[in-house]
Every structure is written in structure tokens, then in C-alpha cells.
Amino acid sequence: MKRAAPLDTAFGRAAIQLTLVILLLAGWEGGVRAGWIQAFLVGSPVGIWGELVRDVSNGSLFYDTGITLYESIVGFVVGTFAGSLIGLGLWYSRFVARTVEPMIVAFNSVPKIAFAPIIILWFGTGLTSKIALAISLTAIVALIAAYQAAKEADPDLQSLLVTLGADKDQVFRKVIVPSALPGIIATFRINVGFGLVGAVVGEFISSQHGLGHLVFTASSLYDLNTVWLGLFTLMAIGFGLYFIIDLVERKSLPWKLDSVRQDLRV
């Protein structure tokens, strides 16, 4: 048995992480005060704190955060759900799947962000266009992953169902969907990020509210403290969503974790 480092505990790691962040912020603030760093170009922690207090007390930070969260979550949920469903559905017909596969690949190879201007044109400058953008980013990822996962379902398990007398729908429900589920759930982590990208980029292009709007307008005014406030808030949102997804993943696939969890040291 190797002895673990004494700081390698949940508490120890948190203490180290906190110390590092504090050191970074202190160095930043100190650098600004000493004149080594130009506050005009990078802002300062104390200035960011001031913005935070102001935007929290007038409620605008919550409002902007709510807008962006709403756009990205709706986009993520609808896009991932619809994409997964279509991807799984392609399992039903090899003919259809093979026909559309190159089109999907072609569509996927365009940086989807490039569609942002037309999506704004079609869906207007309100929330709908941001949701549409988030959907277009997430749906394709989910579709490809779900289709791939469905294709890779063990043919022997499918045969087993057939010998038991199952029809195609039963094979789909009892083998294809459950065996594709881990692959589909794995896209949630990526797609949560893409949902946020869609919302924020949409807000950059044209919007009245949201964190993307906050960051974009502040940076055009060289208000770096507000820019950082927006970025840190986005970071916090991303972080929170990631944890929720992690929880969903562990709760929805008990058969993957259940029982013996080995502590393998390599």
C-alpha cells in the first residue's frame, strides 16, 4: 500500500484550490495598485467586486443570468432530446440512415456559429433566436452520438430478443435504447456547454439582455470590470450545470456504477 499525500483529501484539496485563487486575485490587485498592470485593459478584482455589488443590488445581474440560463437550458433540452430521438430513429431504417448520413456530416462540418446571423434574421432579436441557435448546436451533436450508439448495440443481444419472439419495436425499446443511453448521456456534458455558447453568441449579435449582452456592451465601452463579472458568472453557470449533469449521469445509469467500484491504481 502506498501512503497518500496528507493533503490528498477533499478538505486538503479544497484548501489548496482556495489558496491558489486567493493568491492569483491578490497578485492581480497588487499588480494594479503598484502600477505594473493597467487597470484600464484588465480591470481589477476590487473593481469587479464593486460591479458585482452594484449589479446584484439593482437586480440586473439576476435578470441577465436568468435570461441566458433560460435560453441555454431550453436550447440544450430541446436540442439534445430532439437530436437523440432522431439519431435513435435512424436505427429503424438502414436505407434512410445511409442516405442522410453524408448530409449530416456535411452539415456538421460547417462551424454552426456561422449560422448565427441567418438564425437571427429568421427568428428575430428576442429569446427565440438564441434558443434556436442553441438547439442547432446541440441537436447535431446529440443526433450523431445517438445514431452511432444505436448502431453499436450488440448484435447478439438483438438476436437474443429475436429468438424470444420480439418484433422490431421491442428490439428497439429493450436493446437499442438502453444500450445507446450511456452514449447519449455522455453528450449531455458537451451539449450543456454548447447550449451556453449558442445563447451567448446569439446575445453578442443582437440582444437587449443576457450575460452575452452584458459582456459585449461592456467590452465595447472598455468597462473591463463588468466584462469580468459577466465571464465569471458564465463560469459559475457552466460549473453548476456540469455538476447537475454529473448527478443525472450517475443516477440514470445505476448498472454502470452499482456494486463493486474498484479503486484501481495504475
Partner 1 sequence: MALPAALPTLLPPPKLALRGIAKRFGATPVLDGLDFEIAEGDFVSIIGPSGCGKTTIFNIIAGLLEPDAGTLLYEGAPVDGLRGRVGYMMQKDLLLPWRTVLGNVVLGLEVRGMAPREARDKAMDYLATYGLAGFENSYPRALSGGMRQRVALIRTLIVDPDILLLDEPFSALDYQTRLYLEGVLMEAVERFHKTVVLVTHDIDEAVALSRKVVVLSHRPTRVKALHDIEIAERSPIGARSDPHFSGYFHALCSELDIQTKRVQP
Minimum CB distance to partner 1 smaller for 258 or for 263: 258
List the one residue from 14, 164, 236, 247 that touches partner 1 (CB under 8 A): 164
List the one residue from 181, 186, 190, 205 that touches partner 1 (CB under 8 A): 181
DSSP class of residue 92 equals G
Distance CA 196, CA 198 (A): 5
* The amino acid at 262: Q
Distance CA 183, CA 179 (A): 8
Cα dist from 149 to 85, 177, 180, 189, whole Å: 12, 9, 5, 16
Minimum CB distance to partner 1 smaller for 156 or for 263: 156
Size (the chain), residues: 266
Q: Tell me phi and psi for residue 2, to 5 degrees.
A: -85, 140
Q: Mark residues 51-70: x for contact with partner 1 by CB under 8 A, - for none.
A: --------------------
- Ranges within 203-222 binding partner 1 (CB under 8 A): none
Q: Mark residues 237-266: x for contact with partner 1 by CB under 8 A, - for none.
A: ----------------xxx--xxx------
Minimum CB distance to partner 1 smaller for 45 or for 182: 182
Indicate whether 166 belongs to the interface with partner 1 (CB under 8 A).
Answer: yes
Cα dist from 237 to 84, 169, 202, 219, 229, whole Å: 24, 39, 17, 20, 12
Task: Kindly state the smallest distance separating residue 255's Cβ from partner 1, in Å.
Answer: 5
> Cβ distance 144 to 108 under 8 Å?
yes
List the one residue from 41, 165, 239, 251 that touches partner 1 (CB under 8 A): 165
C-alpha cell at 17: 484550490
Task: Kindly state the smallest distance separating residue 96's Cβ from partner 1, in Å.
Answer: 24
Task: Kindly state the smallest distance separating residue 185's Cβ from partner 1, in Å.
Answer: 12
Piece of the chain touching partner 1 by CB under 8 A; list 24-32, 34-42, 142-150, 154-162: 154-162
> Cβ distance 119 to 133 under 8 Å?
yes
C-alpha cell at 103: 448530409
Task: Kindly state the smallest distance separating residue 168's Cβ from partner 1, in Å.
Answer: 12
Residues that bind partner 1 (CB under 8 A): 154, 156-157, 159-166, 170, 174-175, 178-179, 181, 253-255, 258-260
